[in-house]
């Protein structure tokens, strides 16, 4: 609609549905074609299938997001080294990290090496030289470095070679330096803790040894020999034999660390080194040693250690490091913020870049989850919370969102936040995550610009290897040239010979050479010859890729098929030239005009410009008397959206006067500010001059002319008259008799004769409209006007007149009346002076009258007879406002038909004023909207019903979803239980045996271990029960049913159950019903509930009088109920929705399977569990079973 109305280009991307239901993405472009009068005659355009391009863009975005997660954003220092001049460049972050100013630490290797720790310098330099000479493929070293304040910081240095000379020697290296001091300290603390527990947790499959340093005797366990492939007699248990099998590259460090450990210079021994197997292969070993005893001087006298085969892990680490090195350059140059979130402590650490992006100081923003959410935009808060909750509970595995954050200055910024899990708790939920925060404000703006840019380019893609001549084409490029993608792309020679006109070869060659040399960017628009012989037009835009030597190696680019646009431009330019219609544009900021070629021709200027500035345009080409009128119309259009469509005179460059009809539309930016004015200029000079010449002739009409000699009865017609009646222009004029007989319907003869007679008698002028029959049989309508001459005796003898063909307007009038009848749209006019109300036929029909009824109405009649009392006030009020304030009428109200029927109408109207500004009439429309009102009400009812139905289906889907989630959790728990039972039972058995040995040893040596040994045995038993519970929950077995009397069975269970002394128990067993159950499973359910009740009351700390436990059995509502009621603290409202979730527990002990197992057991029995609890006032748990046939027989 906008394109047709304002002549703007048509450019839309949308989706379409194929007949097979497939969704495709389309891009449609077009322009209007005008006739000589500036009227739109057709819309020419193109439609392109961009589905593959859209899918490729989507896949590319996904790849970018995956890469972003890999490239963790850090804030480390980086450096660049040129070996040829032995100079370093350190970035400011490195100086800040080490506490130096740039002038305090020159960028020289000797300055660097003197700050490396003496114990690390040899290793660092050796590794660096091996890396430079190619002995090792990568450089990744951790060492100590002296800060300015004298403290040693741990640094991880990673270096990559960027460029090499012709001999392959490095000429440029780039690397990163990470401060890992905190990590090293954390590793040391963690290692110390692990060593304290290592003797207890001896439940692995590694080898271990016992070394008596005083006697220099070593014992290796059998697993140690098996791991290395030796028999005990092939590997003597001596330190010297062990050392001989260590890899030469690792020997010095390992032996030095071992000696330092024995001498007490270091507190622990944890080394990784290579060790030779019997078959000659090298295996990686991690050796960890713990001191068992010391001599009088405090030095170790006996140590125990383990050797772990870490060969597989080392291979994996090597692969991961290779991957990391490939990305190290990308990772070192990012400038985004990152944060560390400890979910257990609900604390954040934000790096300085995060604060800088938002404009805060660290002291102004506390690092908590709630504080972080407070600065999220209100419209984004809910979705961010939902995404976080889904990530934390495991519903989604990733968190990657774009949302708005408030800066300190109150403005909103767009950020992209990504989170990656670092550690999880036993239930698999994240407890610590690392995230990045990216400022994407510019990206959002770029997306807007990209959308506009994509309107022009990015259709086909191609790549050319300049050195080899090989090329690659995308499918779209093949389609542009009407070739099959199954064929290889043509060679450069074939491409020129077959697809480019020879006249354009030289131009393309020169532009391509300049692009390859780097002289200028390439943007070529040229003609192509398609495979089917058709001529097309394309735009080529490449991007030059360079290798390390900076010479162009490959050219990658896009090719855009602009054939339709080009043909449209050619046709449009021709149409402009023929119709004298030009285009123009004004930049409202620079006031610079842009003209089309036809606009230059209209002003008799050269077509290559330049166009003048706006002020010069007024002064040179517009008469001064037109200035105010033009400027007023421009201001009204820009400020009040009044359409701009006006005629004015111009002064051409030759000095001639011309006339233009100018139409324009303002273009605004994102904030709604006007930036440009775009429009058309139609040269109407000829029509304007003709209009002036014919102004007097138009008093009578100037279409067809005719004369009638009343004496001879001879009729004469002009050529236009003949054309109106579809007669050849060289045919004779019909006689009066033939005219009436052949061209006028019989029904019109009497009226025409009467009008002509009155005119000839001088009674009234002749101006009549009547239908005609054309020579081809078509019906038409004419308006005939005439005048006549008199002779000296005043007798009429020459009858002269004009014939105006009004067929189109008459048919339009008839169509309009029919449309009004169908749409129930009528017109009305109120004469404010006389109070007379004139209405159209359709308004009469709305009020129940026939169109030919002679009805004369006044405004008072209308209000009195046709408007209900309830609506009179608002209708009168609306009319008064229109008359007094000039506001348009826009009102819905009811009317009363002459039959008494009530109808709903919608009235619109505007007031018109005289020269003094007084209202003289109100004109408007009236629409019968009764049927529309009824349909709207029916639609509202249907909409309400559909909304209810959708809500119901949504709730059903939510229930189904919850069931699926529970099944997934149960499956996960089953896998976990199987793994836990297998992995823990063996170590627990070993611990039990060890405890037994410890007890016997203590008893033998008279040692009193106090409560420690019984406590360990109780916790061992508790671990067994936890494993049993998890296995019971996941191993759902078929029930073995037995008929039991519920009351007797409950009494038996309670007799066996040991109730704590501080709890009083009461029984009300009145069910008197027998049913079929599996006693053991049901016993487990009842005991779990009793345990929960007793634990809750014991933990509550009340006296015995307040701790009461009631067990009741009843039969009601066709089911058997076992009710267990306690007076404990009740269940917290926040915990209640999750009490049946596996592994959920509000207590500090247990694993949260008790109620889940109870629910499972009851559902196996086709029963259930109901829980009612008041926080602080006790809990009632009801275990119920359906009354089956056995139960019914017992009741009877």
Q: Does residue 978 surpass a pLDDT of 90?
A: no
Mean pLDDT score, 427-432: 81
Between CA 845 and CA 823 the distance in angstroms is 12
Window from 85-94, 500-509, 597-606, 1120-1129 with minimum mean pLDDT = 85-94
Mean pLDDT score, 52-75: 58
**Residue 693's pLDDT band (cuts 50, 70, 90):** low
pLDDT attached to residue 202: 42
Q: Tell me the two tokens of residue 83.
A: 């070996």
pLDDT attached to residue 1185: 94
- The pLDDT tens digits of the residues spanning 162-193 come to 778 878 788 888 888 888 888 888 777 656 55
* Sequence ranges of the chain with CATH classification 2.10.70.100: 2-50
* Domain covering 1038-1195 assigned CATH 3.30.565.10 in the classification: yes
Which CATH superfamily does the domain covering 459-566 fall into? PAS domain (3.30.450.20)
Most confident of 545-559, 938-952, 982-996: 938-952
Q: Does residue 1111 surpass a pLDDT of 90?
A: yes
**Residue 1151's pLDDT band (cuts 50, 70, 90):** low
What residues are paired with 438 via a beta bridge?
416
Write down the mean pLDDT value for the chain.
Answer: 82
- CATH placement of domain 694-805: 3.30.450.20
Window from 535-544, 673-682, 826-835 with minimum mean pLDDT = 535-544
Window from 227-236, 591-600, 1029-1038, 1167-1176 with minimum mean pLDDT = 1029-1038
Q: Long-range contact list for 462-469, CB < 8 A, 24+ apart?
A: 462/489, 462/556, 462/557, 462/558, 462/559, 463/554, 463/555, 463/556, 463/557, 464/492, 464/542, 464/554, 464/555, 464/556, 465/553, 465/554, 466/516, 466/552, 466/553, 466/554, 466/555, 467/553
pLDDT attached to residue 437: 85
**Residue 40's pLDDT band (cuts 50, 70, 90):** confident
* Sequence ranges of the chain with CATH classification 3.30.450.20: 77-179, 183-319, 334-449, 459-566, 580-692, 694-805, 812-928
Q: Does residue 1135 surpass a pLDDT of 70?
A: yes
Hey, which CATH number is domain 2-50, 2.40.50.140, 3.40.50.1950, 2.10.70.100, 2.40.10.10? Answer: 2.10.70.100
Cβ count near 186 (within 10 Å): 11
Q: Does residue 81 surpass a pLDDT of 90?
A: no
* Domain covering 77-179 assigned CATH 3.40.50.300 in the classification: no
Most confident of 108-112, 904-908, 975-979, 1002-1006: 904-908
pLDDT attached to residue 206: 76
pLDDT attached to residue 633: 92
Between CA 665 and CA 6 the distance in angstroms is 7
Top-confidence residue, 693 or 82 = 82
pLDDT attached to residue 822: 67
Q: Which fold has domain 334-449?
A: Beta-Lactamase (3.30.450)
Q: Does residue 981 surpass a pLDDT of 90?
A: no
Q: 535 near 434, Cβ under 8 Å?
A: no
Q: Does residue 451 surpass a pLDDT of 60?
A: no
- The pLDDT tens digits of the residues spanning 390-424 come to 888 878 878 888 999 888 898 998 988 888 887 88
- The pLDDT tens digits of the residues spanning 377-388 come to 999 999 999 988
Between CA 81 and CA 90 the distance in angstroms is 9
pLDDT attached to residue 295: 82
Between CA 43 and CA 41 the distance in angstroms is 7
The proportion of the chain whose per-residue pLDDT surpasses 70, expressed as a percent, equals 85
Between CA 748 and CA 452 the distance in angstroms is 63
Top-confidence residue, 1046 or 73 = 1046
Q: DSSP character for 1043?
A: E
Return all residues near 611 (Cβ < 8 A) that are at least 6 apart: 584, 592, 593, 594, 595, 599, 600
**Residue 628's pLDDT band (cuts 50, 70, 90):** very high
Q: Tell me the two tokens of residue 545.
A: 């890729």
**Helix, strand, coil in percent for the chain, rounding step 5:** 40, 30, 30
pLDDT attached to residue 1195: 47
pLDDT attached to residue 815: 72
Q: 634 near 663, Cβ under 8 Å?
A: no
Window from 256-260, 654-658, 1154-1158 with minimum mean pLDDT = 1154-1158
Residue 526 zone, left/alpha/beta (φ > 0; ψ -120 to 50; rest)? beta
Nearest to 8 by CA among 45, 61, 62, 63: 45
Q: Does residue 1146 surpass a pLDDT of 80?
A: no
Mean pLDDT score, 288-316: 83
Q: Which fold has domain 580-692?
A: Beta-Lactamase (3.30.450)
Strands (DSSP E) found in 1046-1196: 1064-1069, 1074-1077, 1108-1116, 1119-1126, 1168-1173, 1179-1186
Between CA 180 and CA 177 the distance in angstroms is 9
**Residue 47's pLDDT band (cuts 50, 70, 90):** very high
Between CA 1035 and CA 332 the distance in angstroms is 51
Q: Tell me the two tokens of residue 134.
A: 């190619």
Most confident of 456-460, 672-676, 836-840, 849-853: 672-676
pLDDT attached to residue 72: 38
Window from 106-120, 337-351, 711-725, 973-987 with minimum mean pLDDT = 973-987
pLDDT attached to residue 513: 77
Between CA 766 and CA 748 the distance in angstroms is 15
Return all residues near 662 (Cβ < 8 A) that are at least 6 apart: 644, 645, 646, 647, 648, 679, 680, 681, 682
CATH class of 812-928: alpha beta
- The pLDDT tens digits of the residues spanning 1071-1093 come to 988 999 999 889 989 998 998 88
pLDDT attached to residue 700: 46
Backbone angles phi, psi at 197, to 5 degrees: -95, -5
- CATH placement of domain 183-319: 3.30.450.20
């Amino acid at each position: 609609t906008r394109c047709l109305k304002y002549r703007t280009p048509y450019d839309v991307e949308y989706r379409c549905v194929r007949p097979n239901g497939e969704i495709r993405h389309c891009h449609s472009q077009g322009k209007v074609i005008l006739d000589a009068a500036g009227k739109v005659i057709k819309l020419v355009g193109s439609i392109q299938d961009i589905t593959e391009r859209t899918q490729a863009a989507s896949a590319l975005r996904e790849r970018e997001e995956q890469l972003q997660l890999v490239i963790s954003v850090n804030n480390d220092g980086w450096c660049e080294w040129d070996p040829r001049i032995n100079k370093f460049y350190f970035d400011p972050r490195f100086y800040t990290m080490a506490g130096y100013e740039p002038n305090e630490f020159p960028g020289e290797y000797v300055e660097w090496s003197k700050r490396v720790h003496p114990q690390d310098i040899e290793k660092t330099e050796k590794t660096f030289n091996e890396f430079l000479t190619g002995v090792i493929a990568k450089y990744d070293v951790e060492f100590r470095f002296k800060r300015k304040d004298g403290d040693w910081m741990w640094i991880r240095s990673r270096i990559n070679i960027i460029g090499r000379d012709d001999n392959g020697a490095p000429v440029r290296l780039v690397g990163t330096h990470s401060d890992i001091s905190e990590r090293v300290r954390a590793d040391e603390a963690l290692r110390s803790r692990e060593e304290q527990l290592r003797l207890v947790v001896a439940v692995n499959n590694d080898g271990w040894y016992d070394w008596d340093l005083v006697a220099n005797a070593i014992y290796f366990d059998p697993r140690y020999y098996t791991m290395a492939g030796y028999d005990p007699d092939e590997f003597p248990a001596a330190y010297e034999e062990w050392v001989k099998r260590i890899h030469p590259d690792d020997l010095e460090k390992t032996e030095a660390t071992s000696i330092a450990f024995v001498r007490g210079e270091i507190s622990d021994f944890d080394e990784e080194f290579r060790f030779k197997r019997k078959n000659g292969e090298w295996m990686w070993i991690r050796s960890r040693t713990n001191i068992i005893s010391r001599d009088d001087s405090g030095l170790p006298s006996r140590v125990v250690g383990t050797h772990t085969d870490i060969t597989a892990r080392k291979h994996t680490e090597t692969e991961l490091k290779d991957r990391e090195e490939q990305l190290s350059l990308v990772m070192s140059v990012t400038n985004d913020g990152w944060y560390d979130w400890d979910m257990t402590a609900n604390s954040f650490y934000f790096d300085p870049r995060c604060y800088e992006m938002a404009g805060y100081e660290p002291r102004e923003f506390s690092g908590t989850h709630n504080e972080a959410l407070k600065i999220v935009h209100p419209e984004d808060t809910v979705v961010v919370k939902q995404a976080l909750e889904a990530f934390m509970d495991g519903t989604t595995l990733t968190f990657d969102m774009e949302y708005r954050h408030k800066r300190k200055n109150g403005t909103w910024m767009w950020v992209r936040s990504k989170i990656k899990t670092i550690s999880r708790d036993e239930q698999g939920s994240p407890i610590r995550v690392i995230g990045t925060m990216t400022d994407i404000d510019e990206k959002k703006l770029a997306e807007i610009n990209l959308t506009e840019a994509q309107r022009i380019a990015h259709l086909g893609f191609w790549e050319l290897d300049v050195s080899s001549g090989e090329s690659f084409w995308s499918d779209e490029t093949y389609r542009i040239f009407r070739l099959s993608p199954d064929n290889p792309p043509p060679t450069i020679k074939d491409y020129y010979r077959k697809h480019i006109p020879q006249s354009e070869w030289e131009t393309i060659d020169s532009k391509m050479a300049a692009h390859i040399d780097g002289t200028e960017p390439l943007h070529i628009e040229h003609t192509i010859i398609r495979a089917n012989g058709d001529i097309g037009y394309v735009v080529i835009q490449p991007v030059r890729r360079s290798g390390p030597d900076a010479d162009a190696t490959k050219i990658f680019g896009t090719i855009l098929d602009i054939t339709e646009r080009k043909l449209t431009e050619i046709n449009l330019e021709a149409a402009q030239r023929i119709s004298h219609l030009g285009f123009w544009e004004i930049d409202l900021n620079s006031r610079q005009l842009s003209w089309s070629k036809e606009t230059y021709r209209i002003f008799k200027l050269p077509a290559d410009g330049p166009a003048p500035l706006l002020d010069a345009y007024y002064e040179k080409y517009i008469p001064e008397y037109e200035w105010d009128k033009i400027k007023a119309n421009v201001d009204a259009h820009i400020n009040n959206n009044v359409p701009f469509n006006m005629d004015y005179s111009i002064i051409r460059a030759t000095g001639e006067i011309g006339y233009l009809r100018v139409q324009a539309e303002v273009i605004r930016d994102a904030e709604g500010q006007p930036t440009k004015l775009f429009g058309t200029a139609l040269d109407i000079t000829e029509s304007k001059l003709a209009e002036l010449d014919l102004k007097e002739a138009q008093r009578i009409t100037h279409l067809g002319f005719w004369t009638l000699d009343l004496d001879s009865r001879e009729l004469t017609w002009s050529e236009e008259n003949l054309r109106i009646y579809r007669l050849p222009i060289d045919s004779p004029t019909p006689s009066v008799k033939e005219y009436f007989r052949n061209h006028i319907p019989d029904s019109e003869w009497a009226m025409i004769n009467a009008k002509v007679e009155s005119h000839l008698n001088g009674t009234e002028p002749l101006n009549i409209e009547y239908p005609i029959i054309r020579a081809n049989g078509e019906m038409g309508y004419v308006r005939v006007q005439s005048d006549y001459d008199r002779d000296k005796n005043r007798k009429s003898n020459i009858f002269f007149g004009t014939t105006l063909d009004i067929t189109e307007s008459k048919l339009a009038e008839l169509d309009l009346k029919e449309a009004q009848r169908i749409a129930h749209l009528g017109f009305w006019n109120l004469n404010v002076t006389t109070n007379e109300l004139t209405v159209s036929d359709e308004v009469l029909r709305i009020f129940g009258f026939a169109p030919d009824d002679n009805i004369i109405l006044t405004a008072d009649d209308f209000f009195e007879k046709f408007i209900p009392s309830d609506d009179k006030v608002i209708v009168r009020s609306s009319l008064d406002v229109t008359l007094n304030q000039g506001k348009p009428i826009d009102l819905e109200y009811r009317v009363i038909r002459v039959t008494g029927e009530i109808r709903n109408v919608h009235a619109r109207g505007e007031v018109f004023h005289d020269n003094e500004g007084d209202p003289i009439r109100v004109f408007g429309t009236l629409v019968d909207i009764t049927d529309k009102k009824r349909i709207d009400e029916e639609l509202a009812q249907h909409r309400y019903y559909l909304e209810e139905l959708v809500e119901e289906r949504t709730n059903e889907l939510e229930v189904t979803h919850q069931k699926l989630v529970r099944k997934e959790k149960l499956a996960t728990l089953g896998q976990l239980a199987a793994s836990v039972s297998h992995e823990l039972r063996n170590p627990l058995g070993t611990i039990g045996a060890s405890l037994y040995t410890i007890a016997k040893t203590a008893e033998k040596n008279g040692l009193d271990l106090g409560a420690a040994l019984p406590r360990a045995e109780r916790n061992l038993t508790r671990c067994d029960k936890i494993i049993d519970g998890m296995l019971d929950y996941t191993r759902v077995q078929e029930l073995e049913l037995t008929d039991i009397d519920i009351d007797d069975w409950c009494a038996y269970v309670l007799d066996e159950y040991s109730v704590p002394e501080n709890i009083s128990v009461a029984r009300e067993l009145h069910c008197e019903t027998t049913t079929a159950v599996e006693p053991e499973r049901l016993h487990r359910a009842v005991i779990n509930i009793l345990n929960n009740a007793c634990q809750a009351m014991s933990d509550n700390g009340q006296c015995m009088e307040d701790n009461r436990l009631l067990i009741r059995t009843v039969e009601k509502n066709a089911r058997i109920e076992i009710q267990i009621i306690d007076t404990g603290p009740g269940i917290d409202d926040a915990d209640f929705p999750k009490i049946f979730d596996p592994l959920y527990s509000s207590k500090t002990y247990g694993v949260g399977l008790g109620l889940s197992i109870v629910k499972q057991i009851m559902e196996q029995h086709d029963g259930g569990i109901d829980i009612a609890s008041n926080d602080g006032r006790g809990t009632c748990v009801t275990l119920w079973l359906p009354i089956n046939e056995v139960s019914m027989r017992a009741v009877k």
